[in-house]
Amino acid sequence: MAEFELIQDYFSGLSQPDSQVVLGVGDDCALLQPPAGKRLAMTMDTLIAGRHFLSDEHPSGIGYKSLAVNLSDLAAMGAQPAWALLSISFPQIDHSWLEAFVSGFVTLMREQGVQLVGGDTCQGALSITWQLTGFIEPGQEMRRSAARPGDAIYVTGTLGDAALALEMKRAGQDPGELEQRLTRPVPRVEEGRRLGAAGVRSCIDISDGLVADLGHICKQSGCAARVHLNRLPVSPWVRQYLQEGGDFRPVVAGGDDYELCFTASPDSVAHLQDMPVTRIGEILPGEGVELLDGSGNALPLPPAWEHFAS
Ligand code: ADP
Ligand code: MG
């Protein structure tokens, strides 16, 4: 089968011409019309088989997660997702793999209003690159560099679920419902947009663990963060794991949760009561992230939880 037919069959029907997508898949370039007055937020991530996922992982899971992690970056900026480019290489044409791969991301893509407007397809080692573009109202973006002493620190959702699920799988246990948190993270797109519109100026998505990612905010903002371990939001599964004496490191240093961590004056988030956000600490003058236990003693900072480093 020629590359042309492959693109036609799998990737060409995933955009609708509209006032913004003047021309989608099929020509030398896509032609796009950004809405007047909006800024474009752009992000790209590559996932390589054997490095970011296992080659024998289910292709629909690879399709889902590869798109979800890119959407999470747009969410962390406060952008509204709009357009995607997909570059994919695979060693040989495998129709059932490709079908499952596309079915893995297509629902998420539609839910988030993303149009696949182009890409590249070639033969080689299995690897997937998404480039996403979103729209943002000038001034509503949330930068890593905008945290200020006096801000409170918040996270969405719960922490440690993905890391615990991975840990259980590696130990040969069935993570049950928790597995979804690892394989099908839900990017916090709506939350990100609402936070940006509410005046939150500093945010990051938690892909490498709270301590590491909050550390990026501190470094780029030139300030310090103090986090209270007993305020960290956890799911019933993680709560039980901790009560049974489990290590707290997956909660503070486990990756793959794709929740948002943001800093703001408490006033600016006071009216967002219907959002799943928890206040976990405060931004201070200085540098680095400090973690305190329930008695106010500093806990040793885990390095990126090494189980999850590879
Ligand atoms: P060219 O050689 O001019 O780059 P290609 O044959 O690579 O053209 O691509 C033809 C069209 O198909 C282009 O519009 C391109 O954006 C699109 N395309 C190729 N691969 C993909 C893909 N994986 N997903 C979406 N669109 C794709
Ligand atoms: Mg090409």
Q: Please state the pTM of the whole predicted model.
A: 0.94
In the block, tokens 């019309």 appear at 33
Q: Which atom of ligand 1 is nearest to the CA of 88?
A: 23
Please give the Cα distance from 208 to 249 (Å, whole number): 12
Q: Which atom of ligand 1 is nearest to the CA of 3?
A: 6
Domain boundaries for CATH 3.90.650.10 within the chain: 144-298
Ligand 1 pocket, mutate which of 5, 120, 122, 129 (most atoms under 8 A from CB)? 120
Residue 189 Cα, ligand 1 centroid: separation in angstroms? 27
Helices 59-77 and 95-111, packing angle to 10 deg = 30
Would you say residue 53 has pLDDT above 70?
yes
Q: Which atom of ligand 1 is nearest to the CA of 27?
A: 14
144-298: which CATH number, 3.40.140.10, 2.40.30.30, 3.90.650.10, 3.20.20.70?
3.90.650.10
For residue 21, what pLDDT is reported? 97
Would you say residue 309 has pLDDT above 50?
no
DSSP state letter for 49? B
For residue 307, what pLDDT is reported? 47
Would you say residue 135 has pLDDT above 70?
yes
For 234, the 3-state DSSP assignment is coil
Domain boundaries for CATH 3.30.1330.10 within the chain: 3-136
Report residue 301's pLDDT band, with 50, 70 and 90 as the boundaries: confident
Would you say residue 305 has pLDDT above 60?
no
Ligand 1 pocket, mutate which of 12, 25, 44 (most atoms under 8 A from CB)? 25
Report the amino acid identity of residue 222: G
Average pLDDT over residues 174-189: 95
Ligand 1 pocket, mutate which of 93, 99, 121 (most atoms under 8 A from CB)? 121
Report residue 167's pLDDT band, with 50, 70 and 90 as the boundaries: very high
3-136: which CATH number, 3.30.470.30, 3.30.1330.10, 3.30.1490.20, 3.20.10.10?
3.30.1330.10
Residue 103 Cα, ligand 1 centroid: separation in angstroms? 19
Q: What percentage of the chain reaches a pLDDT higher than 70?
A: 97
> CA angle, corner 5, sides to 88 and 47, nearest 5?
5
25 Cβ contact partners less than 8 Å away, ≥ 6 residues apart? 7, 11, 12, 14, 15, 116, 117, 118, 119
Residue 119 Cα, ligand 2 centroid: separation in angstroms? 7
The answer to whether the CB of 218 is under 6 A from ligand 1 is: no
For residue 304, what pLDDT is reported? 59
Ligand at shortest distance from the CA of 118: 1
Would you say residue 20 has pLDDT above 80?
yes
Cβ–Cβ under 8 Å, residues 73 and 142: no
Residue nearest to atom 22 of ligand 1 (CA): 119
Q: What is the pLDDT of residues 23-40, one digit of tens each?
A: 999 999 999 999 999 999
Q: What's the chain's average pLDDT?
A: 94
Residue 240 structure tokens = 């039980």
Residue nearest to atom 8 of ligand 1 (CA): 28
Report residue 1's pLDDT band, with 50, 70 and 90 as the boundaries: low
For residue 138, what pLDDT is reported? 97
Cβ–Cβ under 8 Å, residues 211 and 289: yes
Average pLDDT over residues 89-117: 97
The answer to whether the CB of 121 is under 6 A from ligand 1 is: yes
Residue nearest to atom 13 of ligand 1 (CA): 26
Report residue 83's pLDDT band, with 50, 70 and 90 as the boundaries: very high
Q: Per mean pLDDT, which range of 48-62, 82-96, 198-212, 218-232 is the poorest?
A: 48-62
The answer to whether the CB of 88 is under 6 A from ligand 1 is: yes
Q: How many CA atoms lie within 13 A of 68 on its CB side?
A: 25
Q: What is the pLDDT of residues 223-273, one digit of tens each?
A: 999 999 999 999 999 999 999 999 999 999 999 999 999 999 988 888 888
What distance lies between CA 142 and its chain's CA centroid?
A: 15
For residue 310, what pLDDT is reported? 40
In the block, tokens 């629902």 appear at 107
Q: Which residues pair with 23 in a beta bridge?
A: 31
Report residue 288's pLDDT band, with 50, 70 and 90 as the boundaries: very high
Residue nearest to atom 16 of ligand 1 (CA): 118
Ligand at shortest distance from the CA of 127: 1
The answer to whether the CB of 174 is under 6 A from ligand 1 is: no
Q: Which residues surround ligand 2, an ion (CB under 5 A)?
A: 120
Cβ–Cβ under 8 Å, residues 281 and 231: yes
Would you say residue 302 has pLDDT above 80?
no
Please give the Cα distance from 180 to 186 (Å, whole number): 9
The answer to whether the CB of 267 is under 6 A from ligand 1 is: no
